[in-house]
Structure 1
Amino acid sequence: MKIIYILVAAVLTLFASCDKYLELQPKDTLVVNGMPEVKMMMSSYLSSMTVKENFQISYNGRKISWPYNRDLMAGFLFYSDDADMMTVLSNSYSKKYEPEYFENKDWKGFSTANRAWYQLYSHIGYLTSVITEAERFKGEAEYATVIGEALVLRAYFALKLQQYFAPLDQENLGIPLNLDLNEFRGIPRRNQKDVYRIIIGDLHKALTLGGYKSNWNVFHNPNIIHHILAQVHMYKSATIAKEESDWQEVEKYSNEITLRYPLEATVAEINATMKPATIGYFKENPFNFLTIAWSIPPRNNTSSLWGVGSTRMMPSPELLSLYAPSDIRKEAFFDAKNNFNKYVFKILSVEDYQVLFRVADVHLMQIEAEWMNGKKAEAKQRLVAFIKNRSSVDAAINDQDFLEILRKERRKELVAEIDMRWIDMKRNRMSIKRDAAGDKGIGRETYMLEANDYRYTMPIPEASELNYNKIEQNPGW
């Protein structure tokens, strides 16, 4: 949000060795002479998200890496109802994230919001600089390849900020979104419809540009763009910015994927979807369009949030009870003691990783879209098939229970994936009740999050942005 300075010191291309660097002057004195330099800016950015600190680029004094590291993941895990909040700190690995636990056990913390705000806006600022420069060289080769990558990433991160910081029902309280590098102070909050217009516009432009190169592009991939567009319209349908066509759009973009990509059918296929062997970007898995693995441990520690061996974190008993004994996800996502085993920790190789665009998510979005579009028979048939695929159970589903059963399937399928459960809780206006430690870790307390609770919208960082840009704080904070 503030004045923009860029320093790039990273590998020359996404796949080059690490012995060549390019140093750019601050943005206000930088001269970019053509698309090769813009491509360098973009490839350096993509490299920076997975490599160690010495090779990362900086933007406004902040190192740029993949924003959803364990620090941020711990915050979203403790916002959700996925983990057993009474035992989570008994794991010596997750105990490293004790501050997030005590801030977020009653959903009143600020540190997760601060991290999300600063990290995502740093990315948006850098990507906007790439887009601005690329537009100067519209007629040059690889314009579509480079700008498409920046547009998709900017749209994805803007969606995340909108989901976190915009209340569902207040039109004037969208996120601040600055697309002009010459303006950096007094950036107001946009209305929500305007924010979604920008996000959807960026994605549509990237889709129609073409230029996708499988050996270079990461996010600029038609499958990923369709996936994000489905996510955008699904979430938007729950907000003040909703339109009658939203669920039709979800169905349209889901169909682009489900017609060509089936669900996993075995534990082995799910494991192959979830667990990379080395750092980098893993693309075009038939069950997942992108996994990012990196070697950048947060806080300079190598402790996995999820734990290893016998010290793994436990899921909430309620969540675990939802899985049928025959459900293949029980073996894929949990160990023999029912501890989390969805992610494998590999010290000195893969510090952490995330699966971002699983085909299973799209199948579930398509089912919900068909239901919302009045295609109830088709939706029921697909949901029955989904459940049978996962647990070999022939489910009987009536109209009254359909959405509740579907939401449980989303919860079981997408457990502990980025912010998925938190976002579903918010858009579905769920009331959540859970037990967690009392103050200073003493005793057990019951905490409630009501359906339309103000805490479903994160607080905007007060010390900086409210004063600097005079932004209106979210209600309740």
Structure 2
Amino acid sequence: MKNLKYIFALGLGLFASSCKETLEVNPQDQIDAGNALTNITGVNSLLSTVYANLRGAGHYGANYKILPDIMADNIYPIPGLNSNRLIQESVNAPRAHFAPWGFYTGGINTANLVIDATGKVEGTDAQKNRILGQAYGLRALFYWDMVKVFGYSPMFPVGSNNLGVPIITTPTTTAAGVTFPKRNTVVEVYTQIEKDLLAAEAILDNSVTAPFYMSKVAVQAILSKVYLYWGKYPEAASYADKVIQARGNTFVSGADYTGMYYRDSNPEAVFEIAFQLVQSLGNTGLQSLYAQFPADYSKRQDQAAFDNNAEPKTGYGDFTPTPELLALYEPGDVRRGTITTARKSNTVVNYVRKHTPTQGNNFLQNVVVFRISEMYLIRAEANFRAGTSTGASPQADLDKIRLRAGLASVPVSIPAILKERRIELAFEGDRWFDLVRLGMDVPKTTALGSIAAINYNTDYRILAPLPIAELSVNPNLVNNAGY
């Protein structure tokens, strides 16, 4: 195993993936797995490569944060002023979808390696638990991000299709060890995710407060959302409440709302993906896709610079909020401040400024996966659906979000909560998943013309296709219908 690299699985049987479907990781994020598996320090270093795979453009570095808004009805390409990126995804063309099968390599299989090796090397229980807890939590996150796109909502199966993705919990280190498993059911995958997260929660703590590590509270945040998607509402409310009890003091004020997106680390982050300069995705990252920022970093919040067509700018600035989303903002809503005007090719456009330059670099920002505001919305929805008031009443939690935004209280209801989710979490990668988890059709913006909504029960494009390369080598895999 001396020459084993963490990327060893590429091209082997089940893990064969096209270039598009494989997460690319910068060389400095690659660890010699053969050496890493011999001692506790090396295993901990190998764990860093699991985190590294979260940064890829195919995961939270771009696609998992922008496609849910593009493929639904929150943003669309600026007509005549885009760089032709993600155009097919914006109109839901066949096979223009999430492509996360590469998570099996650098993500899941490396987590399996870490989990297996931790039990074989010397180290204290505290050291091993810290590593194991992170690996379990990360493996669960990878599986959840896969089952959400390859399988239907566990609450709303369509016909007899209940398939998710194969569950693999043992590491593959050689070609001889490659297996060809069939797809597990969606419920089986959710059960494995729950098992991993509960195992992680039991052995992690919150002694490390930096939000870019998998801590106990980060695991609890994932659990709250997994349970929400699973329809286990009492559990969702309970876990959201645990996060609020631990991190509720990070909920920012209305005056600080737009400013938090310019901080090097978002103060509301419960879990975020850390980026350093060498890991920047440049023009393929979220800042570039959402807006053109002034080339002069000191002007990143200077509205006059945005509105000045002659001001040198960086990035593509390809996407803009849909008229349907803009119409939802009530007068005085501070969240509307994350959308501002700018001039692109001397045309006035609306840019999203949630993904902004930080850390002194125009293409560098940590990516938030969970923030505390969402926990209040999860607790509100879960309590309302369950008829409970764990931690607070649904009305109080809805008010928490609206009053901070500068808006008046409205009677709590599921439509009211879902409206606040759409506005509060706009441009953060939730819209598509929020619709699909509830078995709802996915509407399309009129700005793209007369494009019919994607019917949850009958349109095959609700699910992503399995990679052709995988189907060709694994006879036990079945593709999703329609592909």
TM-score, length-normalised on structure 2? 0.76
Stretches of structure 1 that go unaligned for 5 or more consecutive residues are: 9-17, 51-63, 238-245, 439-443
In 1: Cα distance, 2:29 partner to 2:386 partner: 52
Q: Residues 454, 44 of structure 1: CA spacing in aligned structure 2 closer, same or farther, 3 A cutoff?
A: closer
Alpha-carbon distance, 1:22 to partner = 8.7
1:80 maps to 72
2:364 maps to 351
1:386 maps to 401
RMSD: 3.4
In 1: Cα distance, 2:64 partner to 2:393 partner: 38
Letter in 1 for 2:257: I
SS at match of 1:375: coil
Identity %: 20
Q: Note the 1:57-456 alignment, pairs <5 A.
A: 67-71=59-63, 73-83=65-75, 85=76, 88-92=78-82, 95-97=83-85, 100-101=86-87, 103-114=88-99, 116-119=100-103, 121-137=105-121, 140-141=124-125, 142-168=127-153, 169=157, 170=160, 172-182=162-172, 183-210=177-204, 213-214=207-208, 218-237=212-231, 246-260=232-246, 261=248, 264=251, 266-277=253-264, 282=265, 285=267, 287-294=268-275, 295=277, 296-298=279-281, 304-308=288-292, 309-310=306-307, 313-335=319-341, 338-345=350-357, 348=361, 350-375=363-388, 378-397=393-412, 402-418=413-429, 420-435=430-445, 444-452=449-457, 453-456=459-462
Alpha-carbon distance, 1:198 to partner = 1.4
Alpha-carbon distance, 1:457 to partner = 1.5
In 2: Cα distance, 1:49 partner to 1:197 partner: 22
Aligned counterpart for 2:47 among listed residues 42, 45, 57: 42
Contact 1:212 1:220 in 2 (8 A): no
Letter in 1 for 2:215: N
SS at match of 1:356: strand
Q: Residues 138, 231 of structure 1: CA spacing in aligned structure 2 closer, same or farther, 3 A cutoff?
A: farther
2:298 maps to none
SS at match of 2:444: strand
Alpha-carbon distance, 1:437 to partner = 8.0
SS at match of 1:231: helix
In 2: Cα distance, 1:378 partner to 1:216 partner: 30
Q: Deviations over 1:113-159 (max 9, x none)?
A: 33x22246531111111111112237635101111111111111111
2:464 maps to 458
Q: Residues 96, 298 of structure 1: CA spacing in aligned structure 2 closer, same or farther, 3 A cutoff?
A: farther
Letter in 2 for 1:449: I
Contact 1:266 1:328 in 2 (8 A): no
TM-score, length-normalised on structure 1? 0.77
1:59 maps to none
